[in-house]
């Protein structure tokens, strides 16, 4: 998703007049920033404030004129079992996808870091699911899970693992697991690419030294590789957590939050309440809770970048 | 076991694992392609056959109707406009952040980076209302505005990484030779930042080409649909005609996969540049 800028040391910036600029220079510096600041302010911060305001109003399809109701939307939400179901689902979904995506991503990165035939080609091919449009991935997996036509049931039956087709996406007990697997397939390549890059910065000599001292592969990974990569691992965990929490396409296209709300997470719920039922105030209240849930992670992200870069 | 045969065993196991990973990654693609070539009655064979007995391109012909071509055009226009705006605004901002240390810039930069953490689902309703009030619902411009919210903060962040690596001496010499600051930026920095611009543009096209939630909410007529929403419509519309659906999936995916393969080196380098240096 994002790349983080390379470190530029303070000294090479000092080169430019030690922070003292002529009036024209400073004006130009500001002029360069104006479009970005206006766009980010107008299109992100202002709507964010509007979402808070909106959550204090009630609008419905029958009553499109917003009516101020204070915190009523939040009170209703907290008393509604559906809200807690969404919180539970979101936690389950986010932790499940992030965990598997990163563990598998790391394992594949280690594997593809070995001297193997067609290594370059393999590294490129493995990225395909990530490049595949989200909607196509979702439709494809919906098809894969189809009880009549799906490849997954066909394979399981022909291997003799199950004796009749399982409606993976339609039964409450398996739906969440099914969407998590699909999302991991789509997302692990991103982690693999990042971890492959991270493995390149692990010091070869340290690894050799550890090997001479008798450390086995697991110990070398634990005590040499992981400490070298810890910054990247942490950043990647944060990014994939935020991305997964906000991931809409897969669930909307495969289950629409069903069966019986078993897979409704924050984005699908907000979309459903807002654009399906036109209850903007309630949808906004869900949105505000989503922001609050992510706020801690966002702060961690900023702090982490600060330690990695002296620029900000 | 002797060390050498152990080595060989290890290698065999690793190659087997490599094959397994590739099979798991590629099987859904293979199946998508296979079903797209199946004649209308064949996807319904149970158990599913891996390859059609009588491959046909009939599904592609049916799927590639004027409507679908229109979706393609819409997606292309919107992606391109989003790239142009995000990159030009992003370049200026990244340059300013990278070269000037003015009080308050640090705060602004954090505010912009923070913006990329916002849940899109939270701001979609206010943006929807803003766009509606401006009369831009169901226009290209409405969706372009929406996409800028996703792409601009990341563009600034990615470009900052590349511009930060360009030595300021180069502009300084240009300016000593009489170039203005803007000329130095335009003629020296921008060309040198080209790999970064390409990587950022690829990221933007990967994101906007397939964006679904905004497009679903902001387009109301057939003519304004993007491919992703058009594809979603296909599911209900034809009672899931999987052959055609998979044919359109293949056609929808090919442009982005081709762009990606041509530029993947630069793109992966861009994606990971910061991660490893951070």
Report yes or no: A192 and A178 within 8 Å, Cβ to Cβ.
no
Please tell me which of the candidates A43, A290, A309 has its beta carbon nearest to residue B122: A290
Number of neighbours of residue A9 by Cβ within 10 angstroms: 10
Min Cα separation A193/chain B (Å): 8
Q: What is the pLDDT of residues A278-293, one digit of tens each?
A: 889 999 999 999 999 9
ipTM higher than threshold 0.90: no
Question: Which stretches of A255-309 are DSSP H helices?
Answer: 266-271, 280-308
pLDDT tens for the 312 residues of chain A, in order: 444 444 444 444 434 444 456 777 888 889 999 999 999 999 999 999 999 999 999 877 677 778 888 898 899 898 888 899 999 999 999 999 999 999 999 999 999 999 899 988 999 899 899 889 999 999 999 989 988 878 898 888 888 888 888 899 999 999 999 999 999 999 999 999 999 988 988 888 899 999 899 888 889 999 999 998 988 898 889 889 999 999 999 999 999 998 999 999 999 999 999 999 888 999 999 999 999 999 888 888 888 776 655 443
A58 neighbourhood in chain B, CB within 8 Å:
none
Structure token digits, residue A91? 């936690």
Q: What is the pLDDT of residues B188-236, one digit of tens each?
A: 999 999 988 998 998 899 889 989 999 999 998 989 999 999 888 877 6
CA distance B228 to B109: 33
Q: Which residue of A has its CA nearest to B229?
A: A135
pLDDT more than 90, % of chain A: 52
Mutant choice from B9, B101, B156, B225 vs A, greatest count of A C-beta within 10 A: B101
Report yes or no: A232 and A191 within 8 Å, Cβ to Cβ.
no
Structure token digits, residue A56? 């204090």
pLDDT score recorded for residue B46: 59
Number of neighbours of residue B56 by Cβ within 10 angstroms: 15
Q: What is the pLDDT of residues B79-124, one digit of tens each?
A: 999 999 999 999 999 999 998 888 888 899 989 988 888 899 999 9
Q: Do B209 and A133 touch (CB under 8 A)?
A: yes
Dihedral sign, CA of A175, A180, A181, A182? Answer: positive
Distance of CA B24 to the CA centre of its chain: 23
Q: Do B206 and A308 touch (CB under 8 A)?
A: no
Q: What is the pLDDT of residues B4-62, one digit of tens each?
A: 888 889 999 999 999 999 999 999 999 899 889 988 776 566 566 778 777 888 889 88
Structure token digits, residue A155? 């394979």
Mutant choice from B122, B200, B265 vs A, greatest count of A C-beta within 10 A: B122
Min Cα separation B251/chain A (Å): 10
Query: Where do we find the tokens 């070298």?
Result: A228
């Amino acid at each position: 998703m994002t790349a983080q800028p390379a470190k530029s040391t303070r000294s090479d910036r000092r080169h430019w007049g030690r922070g003292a600029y002529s009036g024209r220079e400073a004006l130009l510096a500001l002029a360069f920033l104006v479009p970005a600041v206006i766009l980010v302010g107008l299109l992100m911060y202002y709507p964010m404030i509007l979402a808070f305001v909106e959550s204090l109003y009630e609008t419905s399809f029958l009553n499109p004129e917003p009516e101020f109701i204070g915190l009523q939307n939040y009170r209703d939400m907290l008393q509604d079992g559906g809200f807690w179901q969404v919180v539970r689902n979101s936690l389950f979904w986010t932790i499940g996808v992030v965990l598997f995506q990163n563990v598998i991503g790391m394992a594949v990165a280690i594997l593809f870091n070995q001297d193997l035939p067609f290594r370059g080609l393999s590294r490129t091919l493995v990225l395909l699911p990530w490049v595949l449009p989200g909607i196509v991935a979702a439709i494809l997996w919906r098809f894969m899970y189809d009880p009549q036509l799906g490849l997954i049931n066909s394979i399981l039956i022909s291997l003799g693992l199950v004796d009749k087709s399982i409606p993976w996406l339609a039964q409450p007990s398996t739906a969440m697991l099914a969407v998590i697997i699909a999302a991991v397939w789509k997302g692990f390549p991103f982690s693999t690419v990042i971890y492959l890059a991270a493995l390149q910065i692990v010091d070869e000599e340290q690894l050799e030294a550890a090997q001479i001292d008798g450390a086995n592969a697991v110990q070398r990974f634990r005590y040499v590789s992981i400490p070298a990569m810890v910054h990247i691992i942490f950043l990647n965990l944060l990014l994939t957590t935020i991305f997964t929490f906000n991931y809409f396409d897969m669930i909307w296209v495969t289950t629409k939050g069903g069966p019986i709300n078993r897979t409704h997470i924050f984005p699908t719920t907000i979309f459903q309440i807002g654009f399906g039922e036109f209850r903007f105030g309630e949808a906004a209240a869900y949105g505000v809770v989503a922001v609050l849930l992510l706020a801690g992670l966002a702060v961690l992200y900023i702090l982490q970048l600060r330690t990695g870069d002296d620029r900000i | 076991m002797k060390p050498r045969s152990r080595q060989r065993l290890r290698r065999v196991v690793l190659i087997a694992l490599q094959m397994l990973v590739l099979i798991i990654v590629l099987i859904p693609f293979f199946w998508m392609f296979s079903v797209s070539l199946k004649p209308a009655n064949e996807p319904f064979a149970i158990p599913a056959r891996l390859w059609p007995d009588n491959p046909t391109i009939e599904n592609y012909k049916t799927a590639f109707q004027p409507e679908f071509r229109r979706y393609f055009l819409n997606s292309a226009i919107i992606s391109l406009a989003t790239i142009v705006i995000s990159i030009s605004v992003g370049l200026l901002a990244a340059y300013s952040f990278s070269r000037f240390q003015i009080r308050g810039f640090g705060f602004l930069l954090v505010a912009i980076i923070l913006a990329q953490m916002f849940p899109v689902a939270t701001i979609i309703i206010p943006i929807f209302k803003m766009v509606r009030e401006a009369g831009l619902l169901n226009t290209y411009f409405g969706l372009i505005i929406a996409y800028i919210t996703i792409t601009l903060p990341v563009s600034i962040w990615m470009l900052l990484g590349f511009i930060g690596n360009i030595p300021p001496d180069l502009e300084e010499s240009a300016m000593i030779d009489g170039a203005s600051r803007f000329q130095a930026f335009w003629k020296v920095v921008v060309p040198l930042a080209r790999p970064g611009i390409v990587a950022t543009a690829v990221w933007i096209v990967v994101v906007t080409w397939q964006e679904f939630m905004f497009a679903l909410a902001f387009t109301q007529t057939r003519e304004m649909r993007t491919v992703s929403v058009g594809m979603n419509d296909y599911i209900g519309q034809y009672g899931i005609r999987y052959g055609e659906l998979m044919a359109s999936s293949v056609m929808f995916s090919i442009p982005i996969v081709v762009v990606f393969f041509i530029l993947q080196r630069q793109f992966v380098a861009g994606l990971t540049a910061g991660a490893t240096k951070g």
